[in-house]
């Protein structure tokens, strides 16, 4: 069955891109949390984080090209089962933009790349997450995420976001993780609440959230 789950994610991740001012940047040193290794100069590094049910894989620029152009090739490269998923056409420019950011600033790859959430039991990508750029002037990084509806309401997004937040706050130069939700997006609001985010401001349509280290 073809599911455009990654596409749904990228629609979300596209929101707010560039909204935040860029300030002092995070470091580019290797973390000892998770498994991390350099793949090529432009891909910078690959990070894997583990939760009980998920592996969270930071995609390299090449893997993001496959995610955009050849999802099956991405799954092969990651050693996953072929699922028939594909990225929605309308969202390809967002991935292309992220790849271009990584090419220009490979030391910030971790803050621009897409992270695949792989369900260990099924060896399948069931969701994606991303930060929307390196730490801003307030030492905050913004997170976005989306999961396949078939797997909703099993606590999987909460599990993934909890680990991503923990990892981000362990990185030098990061003191907070922020997020924005449409104020009708009850499921996402609930995820953020469960992870420990609090609302910092609101507009008619959006809520702005933050969790500090
Ligand atoms: C937001 C999203 C990632 C949540 O994924 P998920 O794996 O279902 O999340 P979890 O299971 O960890 O938690 C969902 C929570 O929302 C609750 N929920 C879901 N729909 C709800 C609704 N209509 N009313 C009230 N609560 C709701 C669930 O009951 C659960 O809370 P609980 O554990 O207290 O019962 C998923 O809905 C999604 O991909 N949405 C589309 C993309 C998106 O909106 N991304 C976020 C943008 S900021």
Where in the chain are the domains? 5-212
DSSP 66-91: HHHH-HHHHHHHTT---------GGG
CA atoms within 13 A on the CB side of 137: 5
The protein residue with its alpha carbon nearest to ligand 1, atom 24, reads 186
Q: Ligand 1 pocket: which of 15, 144, 147, 187 to mutate (most atoms <8 Å of CB)?
A: 187
CA distance 117 to 57: 7
* pLDDT value of residue 134: 96
* pLDDT value of residue 87: 84
Helix (H) or strand (E) holding 99: helix 92-104
Helix (H) or strand (E) holding 126: strand 124-131
Contact 22, 140 (CB under 8 A): no
CA distance 190 to 158: 9
Report which ligand 1 atom has the smallest distance to the Cα of 154.
11
CA distance 13 to 101: 15
Ligand 1 center from residue 128 Cα (angstroms): 14
CATH classification of 5-212 is 3.40.630.30, yes or no? Answer: yes
- What does the radius of gyration of the chain's CA atoms come to, in whole angstroms? 16
* pLDDT value of residue 147: 93
The protein residue with its alpha carbon nearest to ligand 1, atom 41, reads 146
User: Is 5 close to ligand 1, i.e. is its CB under 6 Å away?
Assistant: no
* pLDDT value of residue 16: 40
Residue 181: alpha-carbon gap to chain centroid: 15
Ligand 1 center from residue 105 Cα (angstroms): 33
The protein residue with its alpha carbon nearest to ligand 1, atom 30, reads 153
Q: What is the pLDDT tens value at each position of the chain, 213 positions in all? A: 444 444 455 344 444 433 333 333 333 222 333 444 444 444 446 799 999 999 999 999 999 999 999 999 999 999 999 999 988 776 788 889 999 999 999 999 999 999 999 999 999 999 999 999 999 999 999 999 999 999 999 999 999 999 999 999 999 999 999 999 999 999 999 999 999 999 999 999 999 999 998
Q: Name, in order, each residue with C-beta under 8 angstroms of 177's C-beta and a sequence gap of 6 or more.
A: 140, 141, 142, 143, 164, 165, 168, 169, 197, 210, 211
User: Is 161 close to ligand 1, i.e. is its CB under 6 Å away?
Assistant: no
Ligand 1 center from residue 115 Cα (angstroms): 19
In 3D, which of 186, 187, 180, 184 has the Cα closest to residue 202? Answer: 180
């Amino acid at each position: 069955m073809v599911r455009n789950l990654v596409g749904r994610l990228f629609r979300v991740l596209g929101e707010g891109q560039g909204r935040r001012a860029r300030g002092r940047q995070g470091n580019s040193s290797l973390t000892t949390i998770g498994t991390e290794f350099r793949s090529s100069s432009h891909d910078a590094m690959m990070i894997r984080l583990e939760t009980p049910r998920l592996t969270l894989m930071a995609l390299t620029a090449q893997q993001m090209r496959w995610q955009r152009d050849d999802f099956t090739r991405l799954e092969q490269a990651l050693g996953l089962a072929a699922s028939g998923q594909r990225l929605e056409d309308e969202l390809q420019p967002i991935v292309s933009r992220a790849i271009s950011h990584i090419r220009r600033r490979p030391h910030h790859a971790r803050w621009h790349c897409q992270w695949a959430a792989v369900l260990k039991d099924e060896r399948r990508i069931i969701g994606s997450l991303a930060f929307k750029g390196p730490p801003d002037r307030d030492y905050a990084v913004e997170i976005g995420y989306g999961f396949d509806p078939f797997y909703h309401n099993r606590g999987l997004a909460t599990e993934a976001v909890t680990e991503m937040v923990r990892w981000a706050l362990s990185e030098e130069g990061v003191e907070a993780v922020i997020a924005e939700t449409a104020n009708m997006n009850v499921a996402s609001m609930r995820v953020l609440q469960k992870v420990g985010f609090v609302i910092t401001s609101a507009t008619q349509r959006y809520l702005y959230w933050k969790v500090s280290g």
